């Protein structure tokens, strides 16, 4: 591989979420983006707005940070959706349908961000569980 090809390869590896092919989808307040138990057909990147995450009608989180990836568990694990997502205000998302191998090969920074987000959510879930157990032990 010559120097030009190496430079082009490195530039391609630095693509970010705005370059990932996908379809922009707009949601109004109260619109269901995806429903727990449905089959996964991709994942989303938040552009603007606010999304509520619900599990069996219990509110788990609110997501509004642009660039945040949502709906990726079903995509990564090829399992039904694990939560329901509902727009809490007018929301713009990018619906992405590329497979995991292509994501890693062509968008490694986005794959890394997805892994980091999943790790952070695991830490938070573990901490929340630990706090819940400790509070019931005090009673």
* pLDDT score recorded for residue 8: 47
Give every residue of the chain whose pLDDT is below 70, as ranges: 1-18, 139
Q: What percent of the chain has pLDDT over 70?
A: 86
What string of DSSP letters covers 43-104? Answer: EEEEEES-EEEEETTEEEEEE--TT-EESHHHHHHT---SSEEEESSSEEEEEE---HHHHH
- pLDDT on residue 89: 97
Please give the pLDDT value at position 54: 95
80 three-class SS: coil
- Compute the distance between CA of residue 1 and CA of residue 22 in angstroms, rounded to an integer: 31
Token duo for residue 102: 């292509």
pLDDT on residue 25? 97
Mean pLDDT of the chain: 85
Q: What is the pLDDT of residue 15?
A: 52
Q: Six-digit token pair at 87?
A: 């727009």
pLDDT at 6: 46
Tell me the backbone φ, ψ of residue 39, rounded to 5 degrees: -70, 145
Give me the domains of the chain, ranges plus CATH numbers.
Answer: 21-138 (2.60.120.10)
Per-residue pLDDT tens digits for 98-121: 888 999 999 998 889 888 888 988
């Amino acid at each position: 591989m010559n120097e030009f090809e190496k430079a082009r390869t490195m530039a391609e590896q630095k693509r970010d979420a705005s370059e990932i092919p996908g379809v922009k989808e707009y949601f109004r307040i109260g619109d269901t983006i995806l429903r727990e138990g449905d089959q996964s057909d991709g994942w989303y990147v938040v552009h603007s707005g606010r999304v509520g995450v619900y599990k069996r009608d219990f509110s788990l989180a609110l997501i509004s940070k642009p660039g945040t990836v949502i709906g990726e568990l079903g995509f990564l694990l090829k399992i039904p959706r694990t939560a329901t997502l509902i727009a809490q205000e007018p929301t713009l998302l990018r619906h992405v349908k590329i497979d995991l191998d292509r994501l890693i090969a062509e968008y490694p920074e986005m794959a890394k961000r997805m892994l980091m987000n999943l790790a952070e959510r695991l830490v938070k879930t573990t901490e929340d569980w630990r706090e819940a157990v400790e509070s019931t032990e005090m009673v």
